[in-house]
Structure 1
Amino acid sequence: MKAIQYLIFALTALMLMASPTWADSRRDAQRVGAFAGAMKYCAEHDTGREGRYKLARYRAFKEVNEMSSRRKLDALAARNFAYDRGRYWGRRLDRNHCRQLLGASEWRRFFN
Protein backbone atom coordinates (compact mmCIF):
# COMPACT_ATOMS: atom_id res chain seq x y z
CA MET A 1 0.00 0.00 0.00
CA LYS A 2 2.82 2.40 0.84
CA ALA A 3 4.50 1.69 -2.49
CA ILE A 4 1.34 2.71 -4.37
CA GLN A 5 1.08 5.93 -2.35
CA TYR A 6 4.74 6.77 -3.12
CA LEU A 7 4.16 6.03 -6.79
CA ILE A 8 1.09 8.28 -6.92
CA PHE A 9 2.97 11.04 -5.09
CA ALA A 10 5.95 10.74 -7.45
CA LEU A 11 3.74 10.86 -10.55
CA THR A 12 1.85 13.87 -9.23
CA ALA A 13 5.07 15.70 -8.43
CA LEU A 14 6.45 14.91 -11.87
CA MET A 15 3.31 16.23 -13.55
CA LEU A 16 3.43 19.43 -11.52
CA MET A 17 7.09 20.00 -12.32
CA ALA A 18 6.47 19.49 -16.06
CA SER A 19 3.39 21.72 -16.26
CA PRO A 20 5.20 25.11 -16.32
CA THR A 21 7.25 23.93 -19.28
CA TRP A 22 4.11 22.93 -21.14
CA ALA A 23 2.45 26.24 -20.27
CA ASP A 24 5.49 28.18 -21.44
CA SER A 25 5.63 26.30 -24.72
CA ARG A 26 1.91 26.85 -25.22
CA ARG A 27 2.31 30.58 -24.60
CA ASP A 28 5.21 30.72 -27.06
CA ALA A 29 3.05 29.00 -29.66
CA GLN A 30 0.24 31.46 -29.05
CA ARG A 31 2.62 34.41 -29.27
CA VAL A 32 4.07 33.27 -32.62
CA GLY A 33 0.60 32.51 -33.96
CA ALA A 34 -0.76 35.88 -32.85
CA PHE A 35 2.22 37.56 -34.47
CA ALA A 36 1.48 35.79 -37.77
CA GLY A 37 -2.16 36.89 -37.58
CA ALA A 38 -1.13 40.45 -36.78
CA MET A 39 1.25 40.50 -39.75
CA LYS A 40 -1.55 39.29 -42.04
CA TYR A 41 -3.84 42.02 -40.72
CA CYS A 42 -1.12 44.65 -41.04
CA ALA A 43 -0.26 43.62 -44.61
CA GLU A 44 -3.86 44.32 -45.60
CA HIS A 45 -4.18 47.61 -43.72
CA ASP A 46 -0.76 49.29 -43.95
CA THR A 47 0.18 50.07 -47.52
CA GLY A 48 3.79 50.36 -48.54
CA ARG A 49 5.20 47.63 -46.30
CA GLU A 50 3.24 44.59 -47.44
CA GLY A 51 6.42 42.74 -48.43
CA ARG A 52 8.00 43.03 -44.99
CA TYR A 53 4.77 41.96 -43.29
CA LYS A 54 4.44 38.97 -45.60
CA LEU A 55 8.06 37.97 -45.00
CA ALA A 56 7.59 38.16 -41.21
CA ARG A 57 4.37 36.18 -41.48
CA TYR A 58 6.02 33.53 -43.64
CA ARG A 59 8.91 33.07 -41.22
CA ALA A 60 6.52 32.87 -38.27
CA PHE A 61 4.51 30.28 -40.17
CA LYS A 62 7.66 28.24 -40.77
CA GLU A 63 8.24 28.21 -37.02
CA VAL A 64 4.63 27.14 -36.43
CA ASN A 65 5.04 24.36 -38.98
CA GLU A 66 7.86 22.84 -36.90
CA MET A 67 5.73 22.67 -33.74
CA SER A 68 3.99 19.63 -32.33
CA SER A 69 0.36 19.20 -33.31
CA ARG A 70 -1.05 20.55 -30.01
CA ARG A 71 1.17 23.63 -30.05
CA LYS A 72 0.38 24.12 -33.74
CA LEU A 73 -3.35 24.17 -32.96
CA ASP A 74 -2.76 26.80 -30.27
CA ALA A 75 -0.72 28.90 -32.69
CA LEU A 76 -3.31 28.67 -35.47
CA ALA A 77 -6.13 29.59 -33.10
CA ALA A 78 -4.15 32.62 -31.89
CA ARG A 79 -3.37 33.58 -35.50
CA ASN A 80 -7.02 33.51 -36.51
CA PHE A 81 -8.08 35.39 -33.39
CA ALA A 82 -5.51 38.17 -33.95
CA TYR A 83 -6.40 38.52 -37.61
CA ASP A 84 -10.19 38.46 -37.16
CA ARG A 85 -10.20 40.92 -34.27
CA GLY A 86 -7.41 43.17 -35.52
CA ARG A 87 -5.77 42.94 -32.11
CA TYR A 88 -2.41 41.73 -30.88
CA TRP A 89 -2.45 40.69 -27.20
CA GLY A 90 -5.35 42.99 -26.45
CA ARG A 91 -4.04 46.07 -28.22
CA ARG A 92 -5.74 47.35 -31.37
CA LEU A 93 -3.58 47.08 -34.49
CA ASP A 94 -3.19 50.44 -36.16
CA ARG A 95 -0.47 51.61 -38.52
CA ASN A 96 1.93 52.65 -35.75
CA HIS A 97 1.45 49.46 -33.76
CA CYS A 98 1.99 47.34 -36.87
CA ARG A 99 5.27 49.11 -37.56
CA GLN A 100 6.33 48.77 -33.93
CA LEU A 101 5.70 45.03 -34.08
CA LEU A 102 7.67 44.74 -37.28
CA GLY A 103 10.67 46.49 -35.74
CA ALA A 104 10.44 44.99 -32.25
CA SER A 105 13.62 43.31 -31.08
CA GLU A 106 11.54 40.32 -30.01
CA TRP A 107 10.79 39.58 -33.67
CA ARG A 108 14.18 40.36 -35.20
CA ARG A 109 14.85 36.62 -35.34
CA PHE A 110 12.43 36.50 -38.27
CA PHE A 111 14.65 38.79 -40.33
CA ASN A 112 17.96 36.95 -39.95
Structure 2
Amino acid sequence: MKLLQIAAFMIAALLVMAAPTWADSRQDAHRIGAFAGAMKYCVEIDDGREGRYKMARLRAFKEVDDMSSKRKVDAIIARDIAYDRGRYLGRKLDRNHCRQLVKASEWRRFFN
Protein backbone atom coordinates (compact mmCIF):
# COMPACT_ATOMS: atom_id res chain seq x y z
CA MET A 1 0.00 0.00 0.00
CA LYS A 2 2.82 2.37 0.90
CA LEU A 3 4.55 1.64 -2.42
CA LEU A 4 1.37 2.47 -4.32
CA GLN A 5 1.07 5.83 -2.52
CA ILE A 6 4.69 6.68 -3.31
CA ALA A 7 4.20 5.77 -6.97
CA ALA A 8 1.04 7.90 -7.18
CA PHE A 9 2.86 10.83 -5.60
CA MET A 10 5.77 10.50 -8.05
CA ILE A 11 3.44 10.40 -11.06
CA ALA A 12 1.53 13.45 -9.80
CA ALA A 13 4.78 15.34 -9.26
CA LEU A 14 5.96 14.55 -12.79
CA LEU A 15 2.66 15.70 -14.27
CA VAL A 16 2.80 18.99 -12.37
CA MET A 17 6.38 19.60 -13.49
CA ALA A 18 5.56 18.88 -17.15
CA ALA A 19 2.42 21.05 -17.31
CA PRO A 20 4.16 24.45 -17.72
CA THR A 21 6.34 23.08 -20.52
CA TRP A 22 3.32 21.77 -22.38
CA ALA A 23 1.50 25.08 -21.96
CA ASP A 24 4.54 27.03 -23.14
CA SER A 25 4.97 24.87 -26.21
CA ARG A 26 1.29 25.21 -27.04
CA GLN A 27 1.50 28.98 -26.63
CA ASP A 28 4.57 29.05 -28.91
CA ALA A 29 2.66 27.13 -31.56
CA HIS A 30 -0.20 29.61 -31.28
CA ARG A 31 2.16 32.60 -31.62
CA ILE A 32 3.95 31.15 -34.64
CA GLY A 33 0.66 30.27 -36.30
CA ALA A 34 -0.76 33.73 -35.62
CA PHE A 35 2.41 35.26 -37.05
CA ALA A 36 2.04 33.21 -40.24
CA GLY A 37 -1.60 34.29 -40.57
CA ALA A 38 -0.62 37.91 -40.00
CA MET A 39 2.02 37.67 -42.73
CA LYS A 40 -0.57 36.22 -45.11
CA TYR A 41 -2.88 39.13 -44.34
CA CYS A 42 -0.03 41.65 -44.67
CA VAL A 43 0.69 40.44 -48.22
CA GLU A 44 -2.75 41.73 -49.20
CA ILE A 45 -2.53 45.15 -47.55
CA ASP A 46 1.13 46.09 -48.13
CA ASP A 47 2.12 45.46 -51.74
CA GLY A 48 5.58 46.98 -51.36
CA ARG A 49 6.92 44.18 -49.16
CA GLU A 50 5.02 41.22 -50.50
CA GLY A 51 8.10 39.02 -50.96
CA ARG A 52 9.30 39.64 -47.43
CA TYR A 53 5.96 38.68 -45.91
CA LYS A 54 5.73 35.53 -48.02
CA MET A 55 9.25 34.48 -47.03
CA ALA A 56 8.46 34.97 -43.34
CA ARG A 57 5.25 32.99 -43.63
CA LEU A 58 6.96 30.07 -45.34
CA ARG A 59 9.79 29.98 -42.81
CA ALA A 60 7.30 30.07 -39.95
CA PHE A 61 5.56 27.03 -41.36
CA LYS A 62 8.82 25.17 -41.80
CA GLU A 63 9.10 25.52 -38.03
CA VAL A 64 5.52 24.31 -37.63
CA ASP A 65 6.31 21.19 -39.69
CA ASP A 66 8.71 20.06 -36.94
CA MET A 67 5.99 20.25 -34.27
CA SER A 68 3.85 17.44 -32.96
CA SER A 69 0.43 16.97 -34.54
CA LYS A 70 -1.44 18.64 -31.66
CA ARG A 71 0.80 21.69 -31.79
CA LYS A 72 0.44 21.82 -35.58
CA VAL A 73 -3.32 21.95 -35.22
CA ASP A 74 -3.01 24.81 -32.72
CA ALA A 75 -0.73 26.71 -35.11
CA ILE A 76 -3.02 26.19 -38.10
CA ILE A 77 -6.09 27.32 -36.16
CA ALA A 78 -4.23 30.43 -34.95
CA ARG A 79 -3.07 31.14 -38.52
CA ASP A 80 -6.60 30.95 -39.89
CA ILE A 81 -8.03 33.15 -37.14
CA ALA A 82 -5.34 35.81 -37.60
CA TYR A 83 -5.84 35.87 -41.35
CA ASP A 84 -9.66 35.84 -41.30
CA ARG A 85 -9.98 38.55 -38.67
CA GLY A 86 -7.02 40.67 -39.77
CA ARG A 87 -5.67 40.69 -36.23
CA TYR A 88 -2.41 39.58 -34.65
CA LEU A 89 -2.86 38.59 -30.99
CA GLY A 90 -5.82 40.94 -30.60
CA ARG A 91 -4.38 43.96 -32.39
CA LYS A 92 -5.82 45.08 -35.73
CA LEU A 93 -3.33 44.73 -38.58
CA ASP A 94 -2.62 47.72 -40.75
CA ARG A 95 0.35 48.58 -42.95
CA ASN A 96 2.37 50.08 -40.08
CA HIS A 97 1.71 47.17 -37.75
CA CYS A 98 2.74 44.73 -40.47
CA ARG A 99 6.04 46.56 -40.87
CA GLN A 100 6.54 46.60 -37.09
CA LEU A 101 6.08 42.83 -36.98
CA VAL A 102 8.75 42.39 -39.63
CA LYS A 103 11.17 44.49 -37.57
CA ALA A 104 10.39 42.82 -34.22
CA SER A 105 13.36 40.96 -32.78
CA GLU A 106 11.15 38.01 -31.87
CA TRP A 107 10.69 37.20 -35.57
CA ARG A 108 14.18 38.04 -36.90
CA ARG A 109 14.97 34.35 -37.33
CA PHE A 110 12.48 34.18 -40.21
CA PHE A 111 14.25 36.90 -42.21
CA ASN A 112 17.88 35.72 -42.10
TM-score normalised by length of structure 2? 0.97
Superposed, which structure 2 residues align to 1:46-85 within 5 Å? 46-85=46-85
What CA distance in whole angstroms lies between the structure 2 residues aligned with 1:103 and 1:88?
A: 15
5+ residue gaps, structure 1, are none
What CA distance in whole angstroms lies between the structure 2 residues aligned with 1:100 and 1:83?
A: 17
What CA distance in whole angstroms lies between the structure 1 residues aligned with 2:94 and 2:17?
A: 40
TM-superposed CA distance for 1:45, in Å, is 1.2
Identity of aligned residues (%): 72
Tell me the residue number matched to 2:9. 9
Question: Which consecutive segments of 4 or more residues in structure 1 shift more than 3 A?
Answer: none
Tell me the residue number matched to 1:41. 41
Q: RMSD over aligned Cα, in angstroms? A: 0.7
TM-superposed CA distance for 1:3, in Å, is 1.2
Tell me the residue number matched to 1:109. 109
What CA distance in whole angstroms lies between the structure 1 residues aligned with 2:100 and 2:27?
A: 21
TM-score normalised by length of structure 1? 0.97
Query: What one-letter code is carried by the residue in structure 2 that aligns with 1:2?
Result: K
TM-superposed CA distance for 1:46, in Å, is 1.2
